[in-house]
Amino acid sequence: MVTKLIAPKPGEGVEELTVVAWLKQVGDHVEEFESVVELETDKVVTEFPSPVSGTLLRIDVAAGDSVKVGEVMGLIGEAGESLEEVAEEPAQVPQVEEAPVEEVKQEKPVAAEKPAAKSSFLSPLVRKMLDEHQLDPDQIQGTGAGGRITKQDVEAFLSSPQKEAQRAPEPKPELKEKPAQPSKAAPVPTDLSGTLIPHTSTRRQIAARMVDSVQTSPHVLTVMEVDLSRVLAHRKANKDKFSADGVNLTLTAYFIAALAKALSEHKIVNATWTDEGLFIYTDINIGMAVALGEGGLIVPVIKQVQNLSLKGIASQVNDLAERARSKKLTPDDVRGGTFTLTNHGTAGSLFAMPIINQPQLGILGTGVMQKRAVVITDEDGNDSIAIRPMVYLSLVFDHRAIDGESGDNFLADVKKTLENWSD
């Protein structure tokens, strides 16, 4: 019996996914619950398991292409099994409103005509790339199933010397009113030698979000230096105890705990700007940026931090970071953040100006911890020089909602909590 691999619905509001890579090829044996394809949505890459054991008989969506929720991505069955009955079925999943039976039946006869086929089988991702570069799909040779144009086909065409000569007609004036694209990219140089490295879908999403954030919020940066002596002393005293419970106690947990305390006291920072007013969140959900090397970064979210102990926070940090790097996050793991923490100091950076994760109002960057000579003033006003573990905290906030004094007071409270840490 042939089983369809149906594109899943990962969460509310998600109607489309991108196929990152097939982990199995046609003819390969697949065990039940074994991952067969990597899917991406909202910067999350997850592995999709096979619902049955069998042989991968067909792949319907190429890597780099988009697929709607409910559509068939491929078929699994017995080796040599006939696919005729499956191919005759008019609709894959009835609940998918975007692809009713009537529409599918109407498209099939037209597919033989080249112009119609070119436009009918354009995925949203490919269509967007064509629009961005003003390309005519009829000028691009499709290598996908049925002559379908894939993301790789567009990228190959963009790197070819014939691109400029085959550019589509100039867009209509109204296209200028469309939202700004991630960047006003320069054309691929034709007079200089070099190598074109195509953008991944993740990189394109990151670029679009960063540009959108800068265009949306007036970013303001404030920086404070923090003495982590008490935090390190507490960590040293409790690290083994946490480890015995399977929890790695990192500095990130302390930063998140301090942020949660400050956010509970400065509620306007834990909010979103709307035309009607500030929407103050009840829960404190802190996202933490996790670097994925060449794969960019992802921001899983620790939910309801106000209800968690330091051990609970540390456990969540461990779990989300591990699943982020192993591509095991779910779409829900990256949604619902109200504030973000990013540790840019892992490579030695002292301080930076991170970009706000919209629609949040602030983001905190932590620099590298360094032992430095600082002036210490005792209770009697006497000064001395001491070696202390210091770190710069960089707060970037949305000036539409948060004034300079409010931002400084918020960061000062984070600093106070860390420098006076106690059980």
Active site residues: 399, 403
Question: How many residues in total does the chain contain?
Answer: 423
Q: How far is CA 403 from CA 218, 233, 269, 362, in A?
A: 11, 35, 10, 12
Which class for 140: exposed (0-12), middle (13-18), buried (19 or more C-beta within 10 A)?
buried
Q: How far is CA 87 from CA 58, 66, 76, 92, 122, in A?
A: 11, 20, 13, 10, 20
Query: Pairing mode, if any, of strands 339-342 and 286-288?
Result: parallel
The token duo for 339 is 């504030």
The token duo for 367 is 């620099």
Residue 388's H or E segment, with its range, is strand 383-398
The Cα–Cα gap between 348 and 159 comes to 36
Q: Where are the alpha helices (DSSP H) in 134-247?
A: 151-158, 201-216, 229-244
Contacts (Cβ under 8 Å, ≥6 apart) of 87: none
